[in-house]
Amino acid sequence: MHELIRDITLSILFAWMLGLLAHFSRQPLILAYLIAGFCIGPFGAGWVHSQESISVISELGLIFMLFMIGLEIDLKKIVRAGRVILFAAGSQLLGGCLLGVLFFVGIGLSLGGGHFDVVYLCVACALSSTVIIVKVLYEKRELDTLPGRITLGILVLQDIFAILFLAVQPSLANLQVSVILLSIGRVAVLVAAALLVSRYVLPRLFHQIARRPELILLGALAWCFLVADTAERLSLSREMGALIAGVSLSTFPYALDVTAKVTTLRDFFITLFFVALGMTIPVPGLSVIGLALMIAAFTVVSRLVTTFMPLYLMKQGLRASLLPALNLAQISEFSLVVIQTGVADHHIAAETANATSFAFVVLAVLSTFVMTRSDEITRWAIGPLKRIGLRDLDHGNGHAEEHEGGHGEARRIVILGFFRAASALLAEIERQTPVLLEQITVVDFNPNVYQTLLSRGLHVIYGDISNVDTLLHAGIGKSEMIILSVPDSLLKGATNEKLVRHVRALNPTALIVATADLLADVGALYEAGASYVTVTRLSDAHELFTVIEAAQAGLLADKRAELDLRLGERREVLP
């Protein structure tokens, strides 16, 4: 026990020190934890050498990690997943696994005879890192963009795929239909029981202790370990039980409160898991490095093939098809969980497991770099893709007006970029002066916006407004008013000031309406050539002030009824 406490102390200390270095160098924290484990483990300095300590630390971390993954799986979002996301995720997972079998068998890895290296690698390479993707997309403010929503939808369905694999995984050595059905039956029984208890029993208990935060935390942990232990008794893994415990809690009213309470503890034990995983990684030989590079290369290539092509075939456009493929081009932390379950059951060779860990590290660094520059990479790649014959949405579907619109036929009023403000503007015009819609052209590269506006009979040009050639070919030189309603924080590859300068150079006489994020930006936009600058915070402040006045006059219910009436009349492109 004394040795375990000392080992945990060293793990946390080194994880913190290397975590600070990773933070300042903008690298994934998981990478720092793996390196910390390697440094203090038996293959590094040897300060932690007890296999029992490493095993206990790893299993605790794994249980908490899967419990939290379960808590964050939104079953409602899975049910609501659109056709595009379902088809893209299915193609990526099935296509990736099929390509994986061909590739890994082709390079001589084991399949059958008690060795399942190929199976585990196929599953591991099919999963992408939620931690890395969400962090980078959040920092880039792209979680709510179309490529961001597609990426997150695929991630959720990848988690479901991993859960199904973990259900079958203990029976791989005796893979018969009856055994698989028995395993799935046990999982179904455990899931059903957990959902029933979380639906009818736990809410009442948690309601009684809602004012006692320590009991909420303790109750969540008790539930996690109870289901994990039950899973063990059903010949499933504790990790699988922890995952089911989390998923069952994600559906009940106190899920957000439980997640908030458990997050700190989760971070502690997940850190321990990755440090313990780093302890098991030996100094790599040439064969391990070679295999790791092949795994990394296969992951990137297979992701481009199995994600880009289905999205492109569903007419999402080159940009919205490329970005999710780039976002997903790494190996998941969940993949390391899958690999470790294989190691524990002696299904996979240690060399293969080590190579997968190294491939994870390589791709974690590279994909962070690529994702931060994904807009530039996509913009660069679209030209060559068009030259080899892939058509973007700007080629339209054969309607003469679309082709003319892309070659100098923009109308009197042009909206450059389309997000919520532009959506609200069109709804307001439709409500008050619908005839004005015939004089408006929208330029944007969101394929959903493009198709929706076309279906409503509006004139829309598919294109990247940050590209001067797009502005030139859109024909804005003859327009009378150009509206820039997208704030700088959401623009890709441009700013309002840069766009105003480009537009003013192409059209010296047009009225240009721009948008300012900051008060300090207003002067710069006028100097660049803007005719009028909207500052969203001012209109927001005015609206909030009228709410305060209505509340003080006892008229808040009337104001709300007025707003509800206005909302009911609107038919926005982006709800």
**Facing residues of 461 across strands?**
443
Greatest C-alpha distance within the chain: 80
pTM: 0.69
Per-residue pLDDT at 175 = 62
Helix, strand or coil, per DSSP, at residue 364:
helix
pLDDT band at 253 (very low <50, low <70, confident <90, very high): low
How far the first Cα of the chain sits from its last, in Å, is: 57
Residue 40's CB is within 10 A of a number of other CB atoms, namely 21
Chain mean position to CA 341? 25
**pLDDT greater than 50 at residue 225:** yes
Is the pLDDT at 269 greater than 70? The verdict is yes
Angle at 338 between CA 332 and CA 342, to 5 degrees: 145
Closest-CA residue to 330 (of 367, 365, 357): 367
Alpha helices in 234-332 (DSSP H): 238-249, 255-279, 286-303, 309-313, 317-327
Q: What is the pLDDT of residues 463-488, one digit of tens each?
A: 888 888 788 888 888 899 999 989 88
Q: What is the pLDDT of residue 373?
A: 84
Arithmetic mean of pLDDT, 365-389? 85
Within 72-116, residue ranges assigned H as helices are: 75-80, 83-106
What pLDDT was estimated at residue 401? Answer: 38
Q: What angle do CA 400, 405, 409 make, to 5 degrees?
A: 120
Q: Measuring CA to CA, which residue among 296, 286, 233, 262 is closest to residue 63? A: 262
Tell me whether residue 117 is exposed, middle or buried, using C-beta atoms within 10 angstroms of its C-beta: 0 to 12, 13 to 18, 19 or more. Answer: buried
Q: Mean pLDDT, to the nearest integer, of 245-265? A: 69
* Window from 112-121, 397-406, 555-564 with minimum mean pLDDT: 397-406
* Spatial distance between the Cα atoms of 522 and 516, rounded to a whole number of angstroms: 6
Is pLDDT larger for residue 31 or for residue 524? 524
Average pLDDT of span 232-252: 76
Nearest CA-CA partner of 406 in 415, 392, 396, 414: 396
196 contact partners, CB below 8 Å, separation of at least 6: none
Contact 34, 195 (CB under 8 A): no
**503 vs 45, more confident:** 503
**How do residues 57-83 score in pLDDT, each as one tens digit?**
767 777 777 777 777 666 665 555 577
User: Which residues contact residue 22 at a Cβ distance below 8 angstroms, ignoring those fewer than 6 apart?
Assistant: 28, 29, 31, 32
Angle at Cα 512 formed by Cα 511 and Cα 515, nearest 5°?
Answer: 150
Which DSSP category does 532 fall into? E
Cβ neighbours for 239, distance < 8 A, ≥ 6 positions apart: 59, 62, 63, 66, 166, 228, 337, 341
Four-point Cα dihedral 284, 286, 289, 291, nearest 10: -120
Output the pLDDT for position 333. Answer: 76
What mean pLDDT is predicted for residues 132-147?
76
pLDDT at 77: 58
